[in-house]
């Protein structure tokens, strides 16, 4: 019987078994079990209570978005100067032997801060005084799958908890009626989504993210046909009683604990989830602001609007993954499409949160698994020119949640290859995100294989300039 239960839960990772929440287990007394220690309180006063990660999968080019390089324009079509080539890390796919490729996009300075933004982002450009642009991100993994894992879990192996899972474990949920960590996938083209990016790793399964369909909401939350709220409650109470009897006979069983909690959450979600995902209730003005009625922006716009609605309802962590940025050829058309899909919805999300008084408590972070080389990939010419992967130097930005906007942190060399000022790794960014939520990455741990694991396993310190 026990084997059957474990097998079923393992094979149903995307069912209610993946939706259990710490808060529900605390209410039911399950968290007293040593396998489910109570989530610690914040280690210090937080600057944010929720986080939205805008993950641009495929790798948008830093020199085409937020890190303009006039020298690259001057040397377009030439070889990389020896003075810079000698500083390039010895990693595959650096493109250092290729010819330089000036950005096909123009840059302008915006706002009181004068931060330059590419023509790809006319809407976000109007909000530069809200942004903290980090130009000196770097790591050494030039492949999409492992790169996503580095960006979202800290290592390229894919066996560690995602940053969202650590957040759920560290702080629990702010709502009893919805999962604390939700994930939306849009424009799923190019490199496939990496499930470790929202997985629980070695943490218990209830901390993993729940994949959500932006049009249908959380799967399986509709009330079964023929059931009322009352008889559904009776059914679930009976199921939970039978599971608890089995648990008392079996002894501690983390998976059965999670199932009991997930049934209860599922029942609550049958009332809460349909309302939370009902964007039809939004005004025509709001729909237009997010681009819901435009085919180009409707999918990601819907996800951004839902992120705002979910933050309002207490969801702790939301990941919006947008694919299609892998521009090995035809970079210009590729990035134009990516910009049009995401620019207006992201700007709408920031403005909407701000006008509702939620931006100050919601941390937004934007970026991909890496950037792109300042050189041409292969021998392509004209508008067919593309760029290869470049983890050695790329850009991310943050806003809201205590972030000091209107500033740039770090710098890359004259071509945008490697950091020459304030080099920062994904682990530093993870430490910073956790810090904003009140978590000290050195004090949050989980005992795995007799080792106390922390979120930033290979180092990582808070980027203090983000907040000051």
pLDDT tens figures, 334-355: 999 999 999 999 999 999 999 9
- List the chain domain ranges: 39-218+277-466
* 267 pLDDT more than 70: no
Rounded to an integer, what distance in angstroms lies between the CA atom of residue 288 and that of residue 231?
Answer: 41
Q: What is the pLDDT of residue 458?
A: 86
The SS3 of residue 16 is helix
* 184 pLDDT more than 50: yes
Among the residue ranges 77-86, 273-282, 305-314, 417-426, the one predicted with the least confidence is: 273-282
* 25 pLDDT more than 70: no
Interval 285-314 mean pLDDT: 97
Rounded to an integer, what distance in angstroms lies between the CA atom of residue 177 and that of residue 135?
Answer: 39
Parallel, antiparallel, or unpaired for β 407-409 and 411-412? unpaired
pLDDT tens figures, 53-80: 999 999 999 999 999 999 999 999 999 9
pLDDT tens figures, 225-251: 777 777 766 777 787 788 778 778 877
pLDDT, greater one: 294 or 272: 294
Give one word for 305, left, alpha or beta, with left for phi > 0 and alpha for psi -120 to 50.
alpha
Q: How far is CA 269 from CA 21, 209, 250, 275, 279, in A?
A: 12, 16, 29, 10, 17
CA angle 444, 402, 410 (to 5 degrees): 85
Q: What is the pLDDT of residue 271?
A: 64
What is the average pLDDT value for the chain, to the nearest integer?
Answer: 87
pLDDT, greater one: 442 or 275: 442
Q: What is the pLDDT of residue 1?
A: 38
Q: What is the pLDDT of residue 273?
A: 77
* 19 pLDDT more than 80: no
Q: What is the pLDDT of residue 21?
A: 37
DSSP states along 270-320: HHHHHHHT-GGGS-HHHHHHHTTTSTTTHHHHHHHHHHHHHHHTT--EEEE
pLDDT, greater one: 125 or 17: 125
* 456 pLDDT more than 90: yes
pLDDT tens figures, 206-216: 899 999 887 76
Instruction: Assess contact for 323 and 191: CB atoms under 8 A.
Output: yes
pLDDT, greater one: 395 or 243: 395
pTM of the predicted structure, to 2 decimals:
0.86
* 411 pLDDT more than 60: yes
Candidates 3.40.720, 3.90.75, 3.30.70, 3.40.1280; correct CATH number of 39-218+277-466? 3.40.720
Rounded to an integer, what distance in angstroms lies between the CA atom of residue 59 and that of residue 395?
Answer: 10
């Amino acid at each position: 019987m026990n084997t059957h239960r474990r097998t079923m839960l393992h094979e149903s990772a995307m069912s209610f078994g993946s939706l259990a929440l710490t808060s529900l287990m605390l209410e039911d007394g399950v968290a007293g079990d040593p396998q489910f220690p109570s989530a610690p309180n914040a280690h210090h006063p937080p600057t944010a209570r929720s986080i939205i990660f805008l993950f641009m999968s495929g790798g948008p080019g830093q020199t085409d978005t937020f890190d303009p390089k006039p020298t690259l324009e001057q040397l377009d079509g030439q070889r990389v100067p020896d003075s810079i080539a000698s500083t390039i890390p010895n990693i595959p796919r650096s493109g250092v032997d290729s010819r330089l490729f000036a950005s096909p996009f123009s840059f302008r300075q915006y706002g009181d801060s004068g931060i330059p933004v590419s023509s790809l982002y006319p809407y976000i450009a109007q909000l530069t005084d809200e942004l903290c642009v980090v130009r000196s991100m770097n790591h050494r993994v030039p492949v999409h799958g492992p790169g996503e894992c580095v960006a979202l879990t800290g290592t390229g192996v894919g066996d560690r908890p995602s940053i969202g899972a650590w957040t759920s474990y560290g702080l629990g949920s702010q709502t009893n009626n919805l999962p604390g960590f939700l994930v939306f996938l849009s424009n799923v083209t190019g490199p496939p989504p990496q499930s470790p990016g929202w997985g629980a790793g070695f943490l218990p399964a209830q901390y993993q993210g729940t994949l959500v369909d932006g049009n249908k909401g959380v799967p399986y939350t509709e009330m079964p046909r023929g059931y009322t709220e009352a008889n559904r409650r009776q059914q679930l109470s009976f199921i939970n009683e039978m599971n608890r009897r089995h648990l008392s006979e079996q002894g501690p069983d983390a998976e059965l604990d999670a199932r009991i909690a997930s049934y209860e959450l599922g029942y609550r979600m049958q009332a809460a989830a349909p309302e939370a995902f009902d964007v039809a209730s939004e005004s025509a003005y709001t729909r237009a602001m997010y681009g819901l009625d435009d085919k180009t922006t409707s999918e990601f716009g819907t996800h951004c609007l839902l992120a705002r609605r979910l933050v309002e309802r207490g969801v702790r962590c939301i990941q919006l993954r947008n694919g299609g940025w892998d521009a090995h050829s035809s970079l210009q058309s590729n990035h134009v499409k990516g910009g049009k899909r995401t620019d207006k919805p992201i700007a709408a999300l920031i403005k909407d949160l701000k006008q509702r008084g939620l931006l100050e408590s919601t941390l937004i972070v934007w970026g991909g698994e890496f950037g792109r080389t300042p050189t041409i990939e292969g021998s392509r010419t004209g508008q067919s020119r593309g760029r290869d992967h470049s983890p050695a130097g790329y850009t991310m930005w943050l806003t809201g949640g205590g972030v000091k906007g209107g500033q740039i942190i770090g710098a890359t060399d004259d071509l945008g290859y490697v950091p020459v000022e304030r080099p920062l790794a994904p682990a530093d960014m993870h430490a910073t995100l956790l810090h904003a939520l009140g978590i000290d990455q050195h004090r949050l741990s989980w005992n795995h294989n007799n080792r106390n694991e922390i979120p930033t396993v290979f180092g990582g310190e808070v980027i203090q300039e983000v907040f000051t």
